[in-house]
Structure formats: structure tokens, C-alpha cells
């Protein structure tokens, strides 16, 4: 049994950080990988202590944190900032940072420079880029520059306008070709998003690197969700592929209402809250 498996049985805490080779080992041994997103220090600290394998600082922060309708407005500087907050809190999980729109599409040199900034300034352990065969040379250049890369195929949110919105992707041959090209280029893992479960399972079986699914069924080697969805922080928006584990949004609203009532009724602060 590996060190990570021993640690999991002991309650999730690990004696050492998760590394890129640990993802490969998980695939080889059939151990499911677990990831969530985080965008700030408090959330990252809580998630890291719960025993995740990886934390993604996603450009989904454009919607989750900034309130945009998609992730395209997110800048490299913002990604570096949020990655720095997360990496400062994390001691065990692998920190993966999304490369935002136009940080790598403008050429290999730009991609290496900007990915290097996410690692050097942001503290990321790896970066994630969207796209398939067309970005295999970019992945190869990043890996040659000693920057681990997680690929991302299927629904790629930065292609929001070209795809006509957030749509399920069903082209098996294209998806398989994309996955194989990214693996050959040196990606250490692959996110598969919003793909029918049968297609994702087929691709997973074809690859030697692990797949991390989101809306791609149980046949992937691991799973990732946006943490705010898992916690019920957006009660009006619940994609079918999300399991809400607690309604934290309602708990927060209830606590704030009680606080408002206590202040207005003169119950808070009480004598026990006053300084002498």
C-alpha cells in the first residue's frame, strides 16, 4: 500500500505533498483522484486539510467570484493573484492553475512565459490549458520548460462563443484524437468536461495518463467540481452533473438574518462580547 493510501485510511491528512508522479501512480493502481476548485486562502486551507489530491485555481473565478457570465474576462494578473492566495494555504494538495484566455493562444513563447509566471509568482505546481490537437506543441514546449501541464478537452469554457454556449460535446473521434495528442505531448493528466459518460470512459481506457471528469460520468480516473456548486452557494444554478453535499447558502443567509435580528433587538453585542 502506498503512502497516500495509508494517509487516506488515517483520515485524509498526508505526510508529504501530492506530486505529479502521484497522479500517474493513482492511474496505475486504480485509486480515484479527487479535486475541487479554490480561489482564496480560507477555502484553500479548508479543502487542503480535508485530503484532496489536487486543487484547481480555475478561471471559473470569472463567474464564481467576479460575477461574469463566462470566464473570458479573467486576466493573467488576476490568475496569478488568486493562485498566490491558494498556494499560500496549501501544504498537501497539488495546486493547478488555469491559464486564462489569451495567455497561451498567442504563441508558444507567450505560453511558456505566462505559465512560468503562474509557477514562479503564483506558486502553482502545474498549469492547465484548454484545447486538443492544436495545442499539443504548446503542451510539449511547457513540459520541456519543466512546467507540468494538465490538459482539458470536451467542453472548453474559453471556447464559449465558438461552441455557442455551454454544450455537451459528443464527437468521439475528435475527442479521442485530442486526448491522445495531449498525452503524447507530455500532459500528466486530462480534464474531460461535459462529455457523455460512455465516451469519457472509452477515452479513459485508451490513455495511460489519468482523466479527471466534470460532467463526464464515473468512468474517469477522478472527479473535479466547482466547490461553490458542491456547497450549494448558488441555489439558483445547479447543473445536473453536480451533487450538492450541503446547502451552505441557506446556512449563511440564516446566520446573517439572526445577526441582523440580534443587532436590531439589542441582543448583540452582549456583556460577554465587550472589552474591559
Q: Cα(77)–Cα(173) distance, rounded to whole angstroms? A: 36
193 noted as active-site residue = yes
Q: Cα(98)–Cα(76) distance, rounded to whole angstroms? A: 9
For the chain, what is the largest distance between any 2 Cα atoms, rounded to a whole number of angstroms? 72
**Per annotation, catalytic residue among 15, 193, 272, 274:** 193
Q: Cα(53)–Cα(95) distance, rounded to whole angstroms? A: 9
Q: Cα(175)–Cα(136) distance, rounded to whole angstroms? A: 13
Cβ neighbourhood burial of 48 (10 Å; 0-12, 13-18, 19+): buried
3-class state of residue 156 by DSSP: coil
Q: Cα(185)–Cα(141) distance, rounded to whole angstroms? A: 9
184-222 burial, b at 16+ Cβ within 10 Å, e below that, comes to: ebbbbbbbbbbbbeebbbbbbeebebbbbbbbbbebbbb
Q: Cα(238)–Cα(242) distance, rounded to whole angstroms? A: 7
Residues acting as catalytic residues: 193
Amino acid at each position: 500500500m502506498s503512502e497516500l493510501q495509508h494517509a487516506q485510511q488515517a483520515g485524509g491528512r498526508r505526510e508529504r505533498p501530492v506530486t505529479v508522479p502521484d497522479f500517474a501512480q493513482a492511474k496505475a493502481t486504480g485509486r480515484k483522484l479527487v479535486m475541487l476548485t479554490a480561489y482564496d486562502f480560507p477555502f484553500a486551507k479548508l479543502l487542503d486539510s480535508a485530503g484532496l489530491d489536487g486543487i484547481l485555481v480555475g478561471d471559473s473565478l470569472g463567474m464564481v467570484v467576479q460575477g461574469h457570465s463566462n470566464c473570458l474576462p479573467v486576466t493573467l494578473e488576476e490568475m496569478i493573484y488568486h493562485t498566490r492566495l491558494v498556494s499560500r494555504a496549501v501544504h498537501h494538495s497539488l495546486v493547478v492553475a488555469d491559464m486564462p484566455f489569451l495567455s497561451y493562444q498567442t504563441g508558444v513563447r507567450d505560453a511558456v512565459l505566462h505559465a512560468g509566471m503562474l509557477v514562479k509568482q503564483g506558486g502553482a505546481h502545474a498549469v492547465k490549458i484548454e484545447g486538443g490537437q492544436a495545442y499539443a506543441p504548446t503542451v510539449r514546449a511547457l513540459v520541456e520548460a519543466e512546467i507540468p501541464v494538465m490538459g482539458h478537452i470536451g467542453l472548453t469554457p474559453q471556447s464559449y462563443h465558438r461552441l455557442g454556449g455551454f454544450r455537451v460535446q459528443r464527437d468521439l473521434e475528435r475527442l479521442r484524437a485530442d486526448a491522445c495528442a495531449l498525452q503524447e505531448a507530455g500532459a500528466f493528466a486530462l480534464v474531460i468536461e461535459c462529455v457523455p459518460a460512455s465516451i469519457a470512459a472509452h477515452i479513459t481506457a485508451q490513455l495511460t495518463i489519468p482523466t479527471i471528469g466534470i460532467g463526464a460520468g464515473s468512468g474517469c480516473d477522478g472527479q473535479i467540481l466547482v466547490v461553490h456548486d458542491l456547497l450549494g452557494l448558488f441555489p439558483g444554478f445547479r447543473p445536473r452533473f453536480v451533487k450538492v453535499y450541503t446547502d451552505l447558502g441557506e446556512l449563511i443567509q440564516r446566520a446573517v438574518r439572526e445577526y441582523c435580528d440580534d443587532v436590531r433587538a439589542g441582543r448583540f453585542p452582549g456583556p460577554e462580547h465587550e472589552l474591559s
